[in-house]
C-alpha cells in the first residue's frame, strides 16, 4: 500500500518524537511491504519563524492532498516565547485551530487508558486504580465556543468580552454518530456529557443524541452533566467507555482523564473528518522545557501513528504490531523519565524509539 503522510514536526519536543514515530513506521513499511512518502510541512511556532504566520495555505494544501497527517506538538513557553507577544490570531495555537477547521476535523478521539505496567503512576487510590480503565473521549472539535463569534467591545466606559457557543443539529448529529459507531466496536456504552441544566446548546445536544441513539439499540447511553463527569472521572473512571461531548468540555475533561492515567506521555489522539482522513498527534503538549534533550517520551506519538494505520489505512495488523511492541518494551522494564519508577531501566527518547522498532 502507498501511504502519503503529511508530517508536522512542530515545536519543542515535536521534532524528536516525530523522528521516533517515523522510525517505527518505516520498520512497519519494510516488514509489511508498504511504501511511505512523508511530506514535511511547517505549522505553529516553526511556521511563524519561517513565514510570519502559524499556518500557510501551502501547508493546508499539502495536508489536504495527503492521506493523513502525523503531528508532533506545537507551541512554546507562553511566558517567555516571542510567539506569545503576537496578536492571538498569529500565535502557534491559532494555526492548529485553523488547520482543524480547514480540514473539517470535527471528531477528536482521545483514548485514556491505564496501562497495567504503569498502574503505579495512577494518582488515584489503589482500590480505584486496581479496577483499571480504558475510555475514549469523543470530543467535537470544530464548533462551540472555540469557533463562535468573539469580540471585545467598549460598553458603559468598560471593556466587555463576548464569546459565543453555538451548535447546529447537524454538527451535533455527525459527532454523536461517530461516538455511537465507536462505542459499537468497544464496550457499547456512551456517556454524553453536557450542561443541559443551564445551556440551550446542551439541551439541543441531548435531544439530537437521543435521536441518534435510536439507531444503535445495542449501545446503552446515558446523559451526564459536565461538573458531575469531572467528579466521576476521579471517583470511578472504570464506569466510562465512550464519553461524547462538545469542544470545550472535551478539552477540559480529556486533560483530566489523561492526568488520571498518570502517564500523559502515553496518550495518543486522532482528529478525523467524515472520511478516513485524520490528523494524528500525542495528547500532550510541546514541553519546551525539555526540548532537544532527548528525554521526551515518544510513545504517545508512536501510538498516534498506530491509530493512523488503523483509522486512515485500515492496517489493523500493523497497528496491533506497534501496540504489541510497546507492550513488550514496557514489560521488559524500559521507561522514559516521565514514567520511570524504582527498579526500571531509564532510556532516552531515541532509545525508546529504537527499542520499539527492534521489537516489530
Ligand atoms: C488541545 C489543546 C488545544 C485546544 C489548544 C492548544 C488550542 O489544548 O488540543 O486540547 O484547546 O484544543
Ligand atoms: Mg487541551
CB 359 within 8 A of CB 329: yes
Q: What percent of the chain stands above pLDDT 70?
A: 100
Residue 323, domain member (yes or no)? yes
Whether 232 and 296 map to the same domain: the answer is: no
Q: Which of 146, 167, 280, 311 is catalytic?
A: 146
Residue 12, domain member (yes or no)? yes
- pLDDT tens for 34-85 read 999 999 999 999 999 999 999 999 999 999 999 999 999 999 999 999 999 9
Structurally, how many domains does the chain consist of?
2
Whether 127 and 256 map to the same domain: the answer is: yes
Output the CA 211–ligand 1 centroid distance in Å: 29
Output the CA 252–ligand 2 centroid distance in Å: 6
Q: Does the annotation count 146 as an active-site position?
A: yes
pLDDT at 201 over 90: yes
* pLDDT value at residue 263: 86
Give how far the C-alpha of residue 108 lies from the chain's centroid of Cα atoms, to the nearest Å. 7
Query: Which pLDDT band, with edges at 50, 70 and 90, does 20 fall under?
Result: very high
Report the CATH number at residue 232: 3.40.718.10
For ligand 1, atom 11, the nearest C-alpha belongs to: 251
Give how far the C-alpha of residue 191 lies from the chain's centroid of Cα atoms, to the nearest Å. 19
Q: Does the annotation count 195 as an active-site position?
A: yes
Whether 155 and 246 map to the same domain: the answer is: yes
Whether 237 and 282 map to the same domain: the answer is: no
Boundary (domain end) residue, out of 260, 283, 307: 260
For ligand 1, atom 2, the nearest C-alpha belongs to: 251
- The boundaries of the domain holding residue 272 are 1-106+268-360
Residue 359, domain member (yes or no)? yes
Residue 116, domain member (yes or no)? no
Q: Does the annotation count 227 as an active-site position?
A: yes
- Which of 265, 255, 269, 285 lies closest to 81 in space, CA to CA? 285
pLDDT at 121 over 90: no
Give the mutation target among 83, 96, 100, 268 for probing the ligand 1 site: most ligand atoms within 8 A of CB. Answer: 96
- pLDDT tens for 234-278 read 999 999 999 999 999 999 999 999 999 988 899 999 999 999 999
Residue 170, domain member (yes or no)? yes
Output the CA 217–ligand 2 centroid distance in Å: 32
Closest ligand 1 atom, CA of 100?
12
pLDDT at 152 over 90: yes
Boundary (domain end) residue, out of 203, 230, 260: 260
Whether 149 and 242 map to the same domain: the answer is: yes
CB 93 within 8 A of CB 75: yes
Q: Which of 61, 227, 236, 274 is catalytic?
A: 227
**Pairing label, strands 2-10, 68-73:** parallel
CB neighbour list of residue 122: distance below 8 Å, 6 or more residues apart: 114, 128, 129, 260, 261, 262
Query: Which pLDDT band, with edges at 50, 70 and 90, does 290 fall under?
Result: very high
* pLDDT value at residue 200: 98
Whether 272 and 256 map to the same domain: the answer is: no
Boundary (domain end) residue, out of 234, 260, 286: 260
Answer yes or no: is the C-beta of 256 below 6 A from any ligand 1 atom: no
User: In whole angstroms, what is the distance from residue 351 CA to residue 238 CA?
Assistant: 33
pLDDT at 12 over 90: yes
Residue 236, domain member (yes or no)? yes
Whether 24 and 100 map to the same domain: the answer is: yes
User: In whole angstroms, what is the distance from residue 93 CA to residue 54 CA?
Assistant: 8
Residue 115, domain member (yes or no)? no
Nearest-ligand number for the alpha carbon of 98: 1
Output the CA 328–ligand 2 centroid distance in Å: 30
Whether 143 and 215 map to the same domain: the answer is: yes
Whether 77 and 132 map to the same domain: the answer is: no
65-76 burial string, b = 16+ CB within 10 Å, else e? ebbbbbbbbbbb
pTM of the model: 0.94
For ligand 1, atom 6, the nearest C-alpha belongs to: 93
User: In whole angstroms, what is the distance from residue 346 CA to residue 310 CA?
Assistant: 30
CA 223 vs CA 50, 76, 226, 227, 233: distances in Å: 46, 37, 9, 12, 15
For ligand 1, atom 1, the nearest C-alpha belongs to: 251
Whether 19 and 92 map to the same domain: the answer is: yes
Answer yes or no: is the C-beta of 93 below 6 A from any ligand 1 atom: yes
* pLDDT value at residue 352: 98
Answer yes or no: is the C-beta of 251 below 6 A from any ligand 1 atom: yes
**Helices 14-32 and 299-311, axial angle in degrees (round to 10):** 50
- pLDDT tens for 85-109 read 999 999 999 999 999 999 999 999 9
Whether 254 and 277 map to the same domain: the answer is: no
Residue 118, domain member (yes or no)? no
Q: Which of 255, 328, 346, 354 is catalytic?
A: 255
pLDDT at 120 over 90: no
Q: Say which residue the cell 485500515 belongs to.
A: 314
Whether 14 and 95 map to the same domain: the answer is: yes
Output the CA 184–ligand 2 centroid distance in Å: 26
Amino acid at each position: 500500500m502507498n501511504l502519503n503522510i503529511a508530517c508536522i514536526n512542530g515545536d519543542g519536543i515535536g521534532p524528536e518524537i516525530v523522528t521516533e514515530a517515523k522510525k517505527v513506521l518505516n520498520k512497519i513499511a519494510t516488514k509489511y511491504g508498504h511504501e511511505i512518502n512523508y511530506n514535511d510541512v511547517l505549522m505553529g511556532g516553526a511556521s511563524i519563524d519561517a513565514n510570519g504566520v502559524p499556518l500557510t495555505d501551502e501547508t493546508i494544501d499539502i495536508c489536504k492532498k495527503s492521506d493523513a497527517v502525523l503531528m508532533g506538538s506545537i507551541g512554546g513557553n507562553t511566558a517567555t516565547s516571542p510567539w506569545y507577544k503576537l496578536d492571538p490570531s498569529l500565535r502557534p495555537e491559532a494555526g492548529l485551530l485553523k488547520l482543524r477547521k480547514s480540514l473539517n476535523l470535527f471528531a477528536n478521539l482521545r483514548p485514556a487508558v491505564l496501562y497495567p505496567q504503569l498502574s503505579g503512576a495512577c494518582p488515584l487510590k489503589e482500590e480505584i486504580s486496581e479496577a483499571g480503565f480504558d475510555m475514549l473521549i469523543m470530543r467535537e472539535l470544530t464548533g462551540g465556543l472555540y469557533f463562535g463569534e468573539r469580540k471585545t467591545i467598549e460598553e458603559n466606559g468598560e471593556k466587555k468580552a463576548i464569546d459565543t457557543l453555538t451548535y447546529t443539529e447537524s454538527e451535533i448529529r455527525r459527532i454523536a454518530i461517530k461516538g455511537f459507531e465507536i462505542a459499537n466496536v468497544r464496550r457499547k456504552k456512551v456517556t454524553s456529557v453536557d450542561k443541559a441544566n443551564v445551556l440551550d446548546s446542551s439541551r439541543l445536544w441531548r435531544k439530537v443524541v437521543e435521536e441518534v441513539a435510536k439507531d444503535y439499540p445495542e449501545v446503552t447511553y446515558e446523559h451526564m452533566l459536565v461538573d458531575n463527569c469531572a467528579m466521576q472521572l476521579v471517583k470511578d473512571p472504570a464506569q466510562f467507555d465512550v464519553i461524547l461531548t462538545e469542544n470545550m468540555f472535551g478539552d477540559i475533561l480529556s486533560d483530566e482523564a489523561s492526568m488520571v492515567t498518570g502517564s500523559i506521555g502515553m496518550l495518543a489522539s486522532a482528529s478525523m473528518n467524515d472520511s478516513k482522513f485524520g490528523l494524528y498527534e500525542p495528547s500532550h503538549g510541546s514541553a519546551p522545557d525539555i526540548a532537544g534533550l532527548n528525554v521526551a517520551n515518544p510513545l504517545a506519538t508512536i501510538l498516534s501513528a498506530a491509530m493512523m494505520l488503523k483509522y486512515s489505512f485500515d492496517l489493523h495488523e500493523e497497528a496491533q504490531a506497534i501496540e504489541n511492541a510497546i507492550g513488550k518494551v514496557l514489560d521488559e522494564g524500559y521507561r522514559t523519565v516521565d514514567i520511570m519508577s524504582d527498579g526500571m531501566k531509564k532510556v532516552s527518547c531515541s532509545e525508546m524509539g529504537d527499542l520499539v522498532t527492534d521489537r516489530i
